[in-house]
A and B are shown apart, each in its own frame.
Chain A
Amino acid sequence: MAGIALMGGIWELISWYTKYEIPSPRMTWTVLKEVMQNPMQDDPDYKGIGTKLISSLTRVGIGFGMGSLVAIPIGLLMGSNKIIMNIINPMVQILRPVSPLAWFPLGLAFFQDSPKASIFMIFICSLWPTLINAAFGVSSIPQDHKNVGKAFGFSRWKYITRIMLPYSLPHILTGLRLSIGVAWMVIVAGEMLSGGIGLGYFVWEEGFNGGSVAKILVAIIIIGIVGLLLDRIFIGLQKRFTYAI
């Protein structure tokens, strides 16, 4: 609470210093209430902030979901097999540092559709953290756990479902948490590039082009809070599936 008050104070100071070029928290609050007037408006010519938020979240959800569905099995395979690790790891190491935004034009060229290109971009950037963490999880299964499987003659299926997956789950969730964080950061940038859709568009079109810095600030607050909530969900899941030995 004290931290938020301090942030408000600094904000107030900055806006005073810039002669309210940067709107004060109070002015921003007024704009926020205005924006929140009819958040779920969904007309062809104008969409409310809630509608935009949901469209952004939907794209993140689809891209992140598909990315995770690809990344988790590949990561598990990499972690359990050295040969597969040695084949896939160099590819991951080369592609991982590429800025997610660099994938956007590629997606656009391929799909000829900017929402799909955004989803593609989210898909790509959701792969790496999950893949790497899933692989790490499986490769770090303690010998004690493996011994149980060996000593009692666990079948491959039993080993996977009773030892490998439960042990790797917290690691996978760490990967998912990092992935969704990146995806949420990247979607806004992607929507600025693609135009016409989502929160990114709101920031760019209504905020910057519309000359309303307050709207940019409103968008930043909303993006921040939603990002925090997404993070919290995964922290909660991680806690739920981590076990004391």
Chain B
Amino acid sequence: MQPSATEKIKTVDEVLEPVLNPPPSIEIENVTVSFKTANGVYTAVKEISLMVKKGEIVSLIGHSGCGKSTLMGTISGMVKQSAGTVKANGMLVTKPGPDRGIVFQNYSLLPWLSVYRNIYEAVDAALKDKPSSFKHELVERNLKMVNLWAHKDKLPGHLSGGMKQRVAIARAFAINPSILLLDEPFGALDALTKSNMHVELLKLWNLDHREKTIVMVTHDIEEAIFLSDRVVVMNDGPAATIKEIVDVPLPRPRNKKTIVHDETYMAIHDKLMNLLIDKFSIDDIK
């Protein structure tokens, strides 16, 4: 069928535009978060702006109490900003939603529900209108993805820390969010388990064709570099701001073993160390 004369024919640029420059996945503009406390108003983060592209992995790094979890809370909708706007997938964030999956610091599994039920209840709540068979299938697929299908009937109390974290990640993936928010997800794990989990997370991200946007809070420099496209370094609170955003132009897939010898890696590592740490040896302590 021929297009009618009045119908505008899209140019190649117009067609390619959203593909080449997709709208940002997360837009944070001038966000300030203040809490009322017994000693007056406490400002955790102040006038922060940050854009995250679709499919990008961004780490928020900084010292304890610098407001990185608070900033992430504004994206998830768990924390209300006092000023500024937060948009996820172009929509203003007012509360948590199924387009954003959250992995909490302490796994936050419900200890009285089996591994299976923990994921199912979350899926059931987040995807209310979907048929039950669809939801069960989602749970099964995601549990198999993190290799925990054999443990589906166990209670969280009977799992190791790494397994619990995989359940938490499977739960966040199961609702198929376009944005994944990880709040110090591997902080409680030992170094070896942690290292495995990094690779597992990237595997899941790859399986999903790198379409999920991931924002992760961490204080682990190596973790931040290995996983991220950009590392956002925050100043110490109160009224924390962004100190610097460091790009990580290392090609993917990255290899844990070889990456540490890469010159770019080492340069980024040094830079982050200098941004975060001011004492490197006992000579630096006055």
Contact = CB atoms under 8 A, between A and B. Distances in A.
Given A147-B78, A244-B157, A153 B112 contact: no
Interface in B116-163: 121-122, 124-126, 128, 155-158
B24 interface: no
A150 B106 CA distance: 16
A33 interface: no
B110 A162 contact: yes
Name the residue among A148, A167, A241 with the largest chain B CB count within 10 angstroms.
A148
Interface string A141-164: 000110111111111001000110
Contacts of B102: 147, 151
Nearest to A166: B112
B157 A243 contact: yes
A153 B126 contact: yes
A205 to B, nearest CB: 49
Nearest to B106: A144
A119 to B, nearest CB: 34
Nearest to B174: A152
Given A144-B108, A151-B78, A162 B157 contact: no
A245 interface: yes
Contacts of A163: 110
A162 B110 CA distance: 8
A28 B157 CA distance: 49
B55 interface: no
Contacts of A244: 111, 155, 157-158
A172 B128 CA distance: 31
B112 A243 contact: yes
A107 to B, nearest CB: 39
B121 A162 contact: yes
What is the interface residue range for chain A against chain B?
Answer: 20 to 34
Interface string A115-141: 000000000000000000000000000
Given A148-B110, A243-B111, A153 B78 contact: no
Contact of A150 (B78, B111, B124): B78
Contacts of B109: 148
A151 B156 contact: no
B96 A153 contact: yes
A152 B157 contact: no
Interface residues of B, number: 26
Contacts of A154: 121, 125
Determine the main DSSP class of A at the interface with B.
helix
Nearest to B123: A152
B106 to A, nearest CB: 6
Interface string B84-110: 000000000000111000101010111
Nearest to B103: A151
A154 B121 CA distance: 8
A243 B155 contact: yes
Contacts of A243: 111-112, 155, 157
Contacts of B96: 150-153
B155 A158 contact: no
A243 to B, nearest CB: 4
A154 B158 CA distance: 25
Contacts of B108: 144-145, 147-148
Nearest to B119: A152
A162 to B, nearest CB: 5
Contacts of B124: 158
Nearest to A149: B125
A145 B96 CA distance: 15
B60 interface: no
B110 A153 contact: no
A142 to B, nearest CB: 9
Interface in A12-43: none
Interface of A: 144-145, 147-155, 158, 162-163, 166-167, 241, 243-245
Given A151-B76, A245-B111, 12 more contacts: A148-B109, A148-B122, A152-B98, A152-B121, A152-B175, A153-B97, A154-B125, A163-B110, A166-B112, A243-B112, A244-B111, A244-B155
19 contacts: A144-B104, A145-B110, A147-B104, A151-B78, A151-B104, A152-B122, A152-B171, A152-B175, A153-B96, A153-B125, A153-B126, A155-B125, A158-B124, A158-B125, A162-B121, A166-B110, A243-B155, A243-B157, A244-B111
A-B pairs with lowest CB-CB distance, top 4? A244-B157, A243-B111, A166-B112, A152-B122
